[in-house]
Amino acid sequence: MELILASAECDPAHDIICAPTDVNELFEFREAIFHIGSFPITRTVFLILAIAVIVSAVLYFGLRKKAVVPGKFQTSVEGLVGFVRNDIAIEIIGEHGAKYAPWLLSIFLFVLVGNLYEVTPGVNFPVTSRMALPVMLAAITWVVFVIAGIKRQGLHYFLGIVWPTSVPIALRPLVGLIEFFSILLLRPLTLAIRLFANMVAGHLMLTLLLVSGWVFISSVGDIGARAGIGIAWFTMGLGIFVFEIVVIMLQAYIFTLLSAVYVQTSLYPEH
Amino acid sequence: MELAAAEALKGAIALVGYGLAAIGPGIGIGIVAGSAIEAMARQPEAAGIARTTMFLGIAFTEALALIGFVLFFIA
């Protein structure tokens, strides 16, 4: 259905690629699938709720038995949890890292499943490509690292940002100003935009190439040899598809890694 | 009519702007990844630290290109 939506204006006899007339319709689903009370559930909201169910189910069934000789599924889930706990939380934050591991694991799995929707057949829509979601996650990270800084250093946390004692006194106002904007404003902003922009770009590329390929190949009876363009687009689309799977995991990892780094810098500002 | 032409031109300028915004981070990511590979080749036992730091460096460098990408859509 969305295939038709995105390529409705495409004319394979004259165009060389099917560009959607309105990019927004690839990301906005306004009609509700069903209602809970008077609250309409759109496709995006439904997928977000599905993340919670999927993640809880994987963690519950993966770690329920705690067998001495774990099966394949338990080993994979334990590997995932252990990766976030040891290689991100403890490795980056240090000895206090284990305290932040549950939060980092939640972020990691939420972003990972939200991103994986992009390459899931039948869903093909990364919910993290809606700016509201990365912004919310980045806002949570912002609250966590600011509170971690205040709890550790008190109000000296803010003083340390705007009046850094490690630089010469003449430079302190300038460096303090830059640090203030970079830590309290640019950090959460770039954290959110990085995830959002990567997912938007990936979703656009996949839609553009695969839909073009499909439209050209399926109209081979009308346009004859020009359908060969479609094979090229489709092959490229499949190549991007594999590339996107790598990007999806990398972005989930980088989002979690940077959240951990931000907490680490507010706990130990001297580093 | 003039308004439509101006709109089309605005889109084209935004496209060029994003291209310009991608130059710096492109070079920067190349330097970061190249140095990381060099470090890993020289000291394979420190590959883990080099890899994590490389991802961090790439993430920070990439931010400028991403801001350009967003401005391209806003324009």
Query: What pLDDT score does B75 carry?
Result: 63
Q: Between chains, do B59 and A193 touch, taking CB under 8 Å as contact?
A: no
Half-sphere exposure of A111 (CA within 13 A, CB side): 32
A112 pLDDT above the threshold of 90: yes
Q: Which of A145-149, A210-214, A236-240, B33-37 has the lowest mean pLDDT?
A: A210-214
Q: What is the pLDDT of residues A34-52, one digit of tens each?
A: 888 788 888 888 999 999 9
Query: What pLDDT score does B1 carry?
Result: 60
Residues 172-211 of A with CB under 8 A from B: 186, 190, 193-194, 196-198, 200-201
CB atoms within 10 A of CB B19: 11
Find chain B residues with C-beta within 8 A of A258's C-beta.
Answer: 56, 59
Name the residue with higher pLDDT: A161 or A2.
A161
Name the residue with higher pLDDT: A32 or A47.
A47
Disruptive mutation site among A24, A26, A183, A194 for chain B (greatest number of B CBs within 10 Å): A194
Residues of B in CB contact (< 8 Å) with A are: 52, 55-56, 59, 62-63, 66-67, 69-70, 73
Which phi and psi angles does B20 have, rounded to 5°? -65, -40
Confidence band of A1 (pLDDT split at 50, 70, 90): very low
User: H/E/C letters for each residue in A85-121?
Assistant: HHHHHHHHHCCCHHHHHHHHHHHHHHHHHHHHHHHCC
Name the residue with higher pLDDT: B17 or A269.
B17
Q: What is the pLDDT of residues A212-225, one digit of tens each?
A: 888 888 877 777 77
Name the residue with higher pLDDT: A256 or B2.
A256
Q: How many residues belong to chain A?
A: 271
Name the residue with higher pLDDT: A251 or A21.
A251
Mean pLDDT of chain A: 85
Task: State the nearest Cα–Cα gap between B63 and chain A, in angstroms.
Answer: 6
Mean pLDDT of A243-267: 91
Cα→Cα distances A38→A32, A34, A35, B32, Å: 11, 10, 6, 52
CB atoms within 10 A of CB B67: 19
| Residue A259 contacts residue A104 (beta carbons within 8 Å) | yes
Q: What is the pLDDT of residues A149-203, one digit of tens each?
A: 999 888 888 888 888 888 888 888 898 898 888 888 888 988 998 899 889 888 8
Mean pLDDT of B49-59: 86
Report residue A266 as tokens.
Answer: 């507010």
Give residues with Cβ within 8 angstroms of A175, minimum separation 6.
Answer: A164, A167
List the single residue in A194, A200, A261 with the smallest CB-CB distance to B63: A194
User: Following CA atoms B1, B5, B7, B13 in sequence, which dihedral angle do they give, to the nearest 10 degrees?
Assistant: -170
Distance between CA atoms of B50 and B37, rounded to whole angstroms?
8
A21 pLDDT above the threshold of 80: no
Q: What is the pLDDT of residues A53-106, one digit of tens each?
A: 999 999 998 888 777 788 888 889 999 999 999 989 998 888 888 899 999 999
Query: What pLDDT score does A232 carry?
Result: 87
Confidence band of A5 (pLDDT split at 50, 70, 90): low
In 3D space, the residue among A11, A3, A5 whose CA is nearest the CA of residue A223 turns out to be A11
Query: What pLDDT score does A110 carry?
Result: 95
A271 pLDDT above the threshold of 70: no
Most confident of A203-217, B21-35, B54-68: B21-35
Mean pLDDT of B21-26: 91
- Map residue A82 onto helix, strand or coil: helix
| Residue A207 contacts residue A173 (beta carbons within 8 Å) | no
User: Following CA atoms A8, A126, A189, B68 in sequence, which dihedral angle do they give, to the nearest 10 degrees?
Assistant: -40
Find chain A residues with C-beta within 8 A of B63's C-beta.
Answer: 186, 190, 193-194
